[in-house]
Amino acid sequence: MEDASVNQAIEDLRKKLEEFANPSAVRSGESLELDVLKKVEELFDDLQEVDAGPTPQQEIALGNLQRDARSVLSDGKRYRRRSRQRMRNSKLAASNRSKSRRRFWPNDASS
């Protein structure tokens, strides 16, 4: 893979991570982490601190987190599919360039 395509893949990944990160962390340049994961940790910590059932607010927060988690997982699957397809396309294009070079310069030692 060429340096430019690697750099582009890294930039694409960073942009995708920014979509899932806490917006204030993105703006302030803090480290990127899945916002939904951070919320799950905070909610779990809140629930562990008390010896009672969840409050209505916590139940609503849990429902929101479940929805957000499904969205993150779904987006992640789509991103991986697109990445695999781009990789296959890149390999196919490289293979086609190599075949084309051999066709025009059959005695070329570099092919």
| 56-88 per-position pLDDT tens digit | 888 898 888 888 888 877 877 777 888 888 888
| 1-47 per-position pLDDT tens digit | 577 788 888 888 878 777 777 777 777 777 766 677 778 788 788 87
Please work out, in degrees rounded to the nearest 5, the angle formed at the alpha carbon of residue 85 by the alpha carbons of 102 and 73.
160
Instruction: Kindly state whether residue 53 falls inside one of the protein's structural domains.
Output: yes
The structural domain count of the chain equals 1
Instruction: Kindly state whether residue 30 falls inside one of the protein's structural domains.
Output: yes
Instruction: Kindly state whether residue 108 falls inside one of the protein's structural domains.
Output: no
Contact 34, 75 (CB under 8 A): no
Enclosing domain of residue 68: 3-98
Tell me the pLDDT band of 107, cut-offs 50, 70 and 90. low
Instruction: Kindly state whether residue 19 falls inside one of the protein's structural domains.
Output: yes
Instruction: Kindly state whether residue 107 falls inside one of the protein's structural domains.
Output: no
Instruction: Kindly state whether residue 81 falls inside one of the protein's structural domains.
Output: yes
Which among 24, 37, 44 is positioned nearest to 73, based on CA atoms? Answer: 37
Instruction: Kindly state whether residue 104 falls inside one of the protein's structural domains.
Output: no
